Amino acid sequence: MNIDHIKRVYLLGIGGIGMSGLARYFHHLGCEVEGYDRTETELTKALVAEGIRVIYQDDTSLVPDSFNEPSKENLVIFTPAVPQDLSIKRALLDSGVRLYKRSEVLGIISASRFTIAVAGTHGKTTTSTMIAHVLKDSGYDCSAFLGGISSNYNTNVLYGENNVVVVEADEYDRSFLTLHPNIAIVTSSDADHLDIYGDEKHLLESFELFLARVVENGTKIVKKGLPFEGSVRYALEDKADAYAANIRIENDAFHFDFYGKDDTILNIHLGIAGIHNVENAVAAIVVALELGISVEKIKQALSSFRGAKRRFEYVARNERSIYIDDYAHHPEELKAFLASVRKLYPNRELTVVFQPHLFSRTRDFVDGFAQALSSADVLLLMDIYPAREIPIEGVNARWLFDKVELENKRLVTPEQVLEYAKQEKPALIVTMGAGDIDKLVKPLKEIIEHA
């Protein structure tokens, strides 16, 4: 496939965060872009407002005739989240049309560009968004395909004038093995996606294969403690090739010093909260220094960085209440997020609203989830969001609920979460999860702001 020959693009699952980024990218290139998704969301509404046609019915008659036969000017992209028996997908395959995974298309794009790829079972969205912002804000420039909506740019895709691209490298379904990185970062490799990999051993092998795809004389930046070879090791408050020290909170903001092989940067102000984000910033600094960006520009960019939507995002904040939303859906993410919230606000009662994501993940890590959630003062636990899965017998929210060592805990519906917020007016409330818990963000914001 030659990207330059493409004139028309159709995306199955266009409303996904990664797919919508490709939709915007090809629309920016001047292609006719359309797509299908199961439900209308804020993201699909934004795509339509930008001039991209989206349908929500699995109706083959709604797909333009121009896509019903193979053509070098057409590109059809699908996400593995789309059902195999989707009528539109089957009709396209039956007509001989080649369908590309999103990861394949990113691989083709990255093959012709200087690629900075960020992988990890958690931390990759914030780190890739941070790197892209440093490159943009410093004037170095880049294009970027992000796994979240950048709060600085209000989009998940950035367009640059140079040949540099920043990519969030997704390990799900081994998608990142299509990339050709010049610089690769691995932020974490905790067991996850065991529904795909079967066990942790195969997950780790996949990360090894990802690092093996780094081009000759490329740079491998690996968090210290991970079982992979890296040309640069980075850490949080632990001696490594690059690490953070003197981490402190001043006026609800994190400050730290950076120590690298050849550079020391003192008194860095990070524009987003979270001690885990200090660690992410260390990796971003290593990349920026590798590219020759000056220390002052790096400090300026990190100070103005506002993060990604649903990653330690302050949704509402006033004298009475604070509301923070986060995408955390793995025990290690929950622990890191809640620890940072506690560090920032040690004297406020912490109300946690959590929606588990996937039956298999809940089954595999139930004890880790229970331990993390036990650190709350009040827990509001929602039903498991199934996503692509069918129920597993015995795996449900009640099972997890009973393992949480906390007196003040409740099993709740979304409506009951909103009612609790109205009645109790919590001083500090957080929502966490990767399912449709994001539908609570707007109504909760309104309740908190008008309490």
Q: What is the pLDDT of residues 10-55, one digit of tens each?
A: 999 999 888 999 999 999 999 999 999 999 988 999 999 999 999 9
Residue 75: CATH number of its domain = 3.40.50.720
| Sequential DSSP letters for 406-445 | -SSEEE--HHHHHHHHHHH--SEEEEE-SSGGGGGHHHHH
What is the per-residue pLDDT across 281-325, written as a single tens digit (0 to 9) for each?
A: 999 999 999 999 999 999 999 999 999 988 889 999 998 999 999
Q: Which amino acid is it at 353?
A: V
User: Which of 274, 304, 334 is the last residue before a domain boundary?
Assistant: 304
Q: What pLDDT is stored for residue 73 in this prediction?
A: 95
* pLDDT confidence bin for 194, thresholds 50/70/90: low
Residue 283 in any domain: the answer is yes
Give per-residue pLDDT as tens, 132-185: 999 999 999 999 999 889 999 999 999 999 999 999 988 766 778 889 999 999
Percent of the chain surpassing pLDDT 90: 78
Q: Which of 328, 277, 325 is nearest to 434 (CA)?
A: 328
- Counting other chains too, the contacts that 2-7 makes at CB distance below 8 Å and 24 or more residues apart are 2/72, 3/29, 3/108, 3/109, 3/112, 5/72, 5/73, 6/31, 6/73, 6/74, 6/75, 7/31, 7/32, 7/73, 7/74
Asked whether residue 290 is domain-assigned, the answer is: yes
CATH number assigned to the domain comprising residue 263: 3.40.1190.10
**255 and 184 housed in the same domain:** yes
In this predicted structure, the answer to whether residue 336 has a pLDDT above a threshold of 80 is: yes
Cα(111)–Cα(195) distance, integer angstroms: 29
Of the three residues 280, 304, 328, the one that is the final residue of a domain is: 304
CB atoms within 10 A of CB 263: 13
Tell me the residue length of the chain: 451
- Indicate whether 66 and 190 sit together in one domain: no
Query: 342 CB contacts (<8 Å, ≥6 apart)?
Result: 350, 375
395: domain CATH number is 3.90.190.20
Domain assignment present for 336: yes
Q: If you average pLDDT over residues 428-442, what whole number do you get?
A: 95
The verdict on residue 107 lying in a domain is no
Q: Tell me the C-alpha distance between 157 and 33, whole Å.
A: 15
Radius of gyration of the chain (CA): 22
In contact, 381 and 412? CB cutoff 8 Å: yes
Residue closest to 362 by CA, chosen among 323, 322, 393: 393
**Owner of token pair 């004389």:** 217
193, pLDDT greater than 60: no
- Domain range for 330 is 313-449
pTM over 0.85: no
How many whole angstroms separate alpha carbon 397 and alpha carbon 383?
5
Inform me whether the pLDDT recorded for 409 exceeds 90.
Answer: yes
- Where is 373: in which H helix or E strand? helix 366-373
Beta bridge partners of 364: none
Q: What is the pLDDT of residues 57-76, one digit of tens each?
A: 999 999 999 998 899 999 99
Within a domain: 13: yes
Q: Does 30 share its domain with 141?
A: no
Q: Do 184 and 300 sit in the same domain of this protein?
A: yes
**355 and 427 share one domain:** yes
Q: Contact at 8 Å (CB) between 373 and 352?
A: yes
Which of 284, 304, 324 delimits the end of a domain?
Answer: 304
Residue 302 DSSP SS3? helix
228 and 271 housed in the same domain? yes
Distance CA 121, CA 162 (A): 29
In a domain, 188, yes or no: yes
How far is the C-alpha of 406 from the C-alpha of 410, rounded, in Å? 10
* Nearest partner of 132 among 112, 113, 107, 158, judged by Cα: 158
Q: Are 105 and 12 in contact (CB under 8 A)?
A: no
280 and 368 assigned to the same domain: no
Number of domains, the chain: 3
